[in-house]
Chain A
Amino acid sequence: MLKIQEIRELIRLIDQSSIEEFVYEHEGTKVHMKKPSTSVPVETVVKTVAEPTVKIVTPEAPSQAPAQPTAPIAETKQEEQAKQETVNKENLHKITSPMVGTFYTAPSPDAPPYVKVGDKVKKDTIVCIIEAMKLFNEIEAEVNGEIVEILVQNGQLVEYGQPLFLVKPE
């Protein structure tokens, strides 16, 4: 089994080389790295048991933001994403997730969503719920304004600090 440090080292070496694709297989562990020429994301897939810090690509994982080839760790990608959005949508308030968990737009699957795009919200308006291990966190808008965009899907796993909504403050 590869250690995270070894995977990092591999990424670094491959990144510096002219190798475009790299596959490593050993005792059921498979590492597959692909390095497209421009800004297409690099995907690292690790199968079988891995260190929890290694990003494992599963159908449940959140959609991956473009990242630098040297950044295979989810949190780093998240920060990149956050930075990009600050640049693009400076005037908008971002409602972010205070914890890792599942994002719900409504209190139950049959209920209408707390908010839709175009809805006016107040500071204490509940906009969604984040659940982790049967702990429920009702997220408030934090500002008065209008919901401009909902950045995640109902039922999606969100990371700590991940932007969930864009609000145009009033």
Chain B
Amino acid sequence: MQSETRKKLLELFSEAKGDFISGQKISEILGCSRTAVWKHIEDLRKEGFELEAVRRLGYRIVNTPDKVTANEIQLGLKTETLGRYIHFEEEVTSTQTIAQKLAYEGAKEGTLVVAEQQIAGRGRMARNWFSPKGTGIWMSLILRPPIPPQKAPHLTLLTAVAIAQAIQDVTGLVPDIKWPNDILINGKKCVGILTELQAEPDRIHSVIIGMGINVNQTVEQFPEDIRAIATSLAIEKGEKIKRAELVQEILFKIEMLYRQYLQHGFRPIKLLWEGYAISIGKEITARTLSGTLRGMALGITDEGVLMLEDADGNIHYIHSADIQL
């Protein structure tokens, strides 16, 4: 965790929105000497921030490094609660495991665990999620929603909508959502979301939303066996994307939708989800442990459950499956 002084300093630069702040003002607000301010600025530089220092004007941030430590994420963050506590590590087994532990120990709602690299990132059915160093966003968000446990799956669809919106705003790319919450661009997967629930029968302790986002990988950086089905935002966009900016936008969108959800329920989220849904109104295949179903995807219920109509006209309600378009 970063120091309080560092946090304050970044908030100051955040508020300045690229304008100069005088060294005098910084020292007053942080409650430290001008020399100490200079030391903090030097520390930021060492971490990859580009800072301009002009006599009589003070300091301003010219460029931030493409990193996803608490520094970069909190500089310019627009949320009230999400991402206000950030636990960053260079390398983890899985951000999900750390977030579970923090949640169990009482971490506040909105706590975010981020890593530059996961050595055992995981997906559905304990499958691997390829998460190499410095290329993507590997993070887990802790929520403590005051809703009954059986409603918690709503949040997985909500998260997909929030990430799709954020990707659209930051990159201009138009993502699709494949039920329930895979995000695809041009038919290839670039975001996976896996959520875990800690709950008693009638009360949620925490919902831990794990997000894996392929941001700046090149084609060559993907293992050969997934190149046909996986992509990154940079591949699709043709240029690199600043990861911290995307994290900020994702947190902001989740916070907005989450607030809306707690107030108005799932209906408004469902409408937004349907706007991005790629798998509805098409023939799809749903693979489950108990068998494979093929049919027309009719839509989702008010609970987010997929409705699939088979050749005989029977409707199947699908709660969990791998969907193939």
- Contacts from A to B (Cβ < 8 Å): 28, 47-50, 52, 56-60, 96, 98-102, 104, 107-109, 111, 131-138, 153-157, 160
Residue of chain A at shortest CB distance from B199:
A98
Please, could you name 25 A-B residue pairs with CB atoms under 8 Å apart, sorted by A?
A: A47-B312, A56-B314, A56-B317, A57-B314, A58-B314, A58-B315, A60-B293, A98-B199, A99-B149, A100-B150, A102-B289, A102-B320, A104-B289, A107-B125, A107-B126, A108-B126, A108-B127, A109-B289, A131-B319, A132-B305, A132-B320, A133-B157, A134-B156, A135-B207, A157-B319
Docked-complex contact A133 and B288, CB < 8 angstroms:
no
Find chain B residues with CB under 8 A from A138 CB.
196, 198
Q: Considering residues A28, A50, A99, which has the most beta carbons from chain B within 10 angstroms of its beta carbon?
A: A99
B313 at interface (Cβ–Cβ under 8 A)? yes
Bound-complex Cα distance A59 to B315 (A)? 10
Bound-complex Cα distance A28 to B126 (A)? 43
Of B195, B289, B291, the contact of A136 (CB 8 Å cutoff)? B195
Docked-complex contact B124 and A52, CB < 8 angstroms:
no
Docked-complex contact A49 and B319, CB < 8 angstroms:
no
Closest 9 CB pairs of A and B: A155-B289, A108-B126, A99-B150, A133-B180, A133-B153, A102-B320, A135-B195, A137-B197, A132-B153
Known: A52-B301, A155-B290, A156-B290. A134 touches B319 (CB 8 A): no
Main SS at interface, chain B: mixed
Bound-complex Cα distance A69 to B211 (A)? 47
Of B127, B149, B157, B314, the contact of A137 (CB 8 Å cutoff)? B149
B181 at interface (Cβ–Cβ under 8 A)? yes
Find chain A residues with CB under 8 A from B313 CB.
28, 47-48
Docked-complex contact A135 and B197, CB < 8 angstroms:
yes
Q: Residues 279-313 of chain B: 1 if any A CB is under 8 Å from the residue's CB, otherwise 0?
A: 00000000011110100001001111100010011
Shortest beta-carbon distance, B206 to chain A, in Å? 12
Docked-complex contact A60 and B318, CB < 8 angstroms:
yes
Of A49, A59, A100, A133, the contact of B291 (CB 8 Å cutoff)? A59
Bound-complex Cα distance A133 to B157 (A)? 8
Q: Residues 156-184 of chain B: 1 if any A CB is under 8 Å from the residue's CB, otherwise 0?
A: 11000000000000000000000011000
Docked-complex contact A132 and B289, CB < 8 angstroms:
no
Find chain A residues with CB under 8 A from B156 CB.
133-135
Of A47, A57, A59, A134, the contact of B124 (CB 8 Å cutoff)? A134
Docked-complex contact B199 and A131, CB < 8 angstroms:
no
Shortest beta-carbon distance, A82 to chain B, in Å? 13
Shortest beta-carbon distance, B183 to chain A, in Å? 12
Find chain B residues with CB under 8 A from A134 CB.
124, 153, 156, 180-181, 193-195, 320
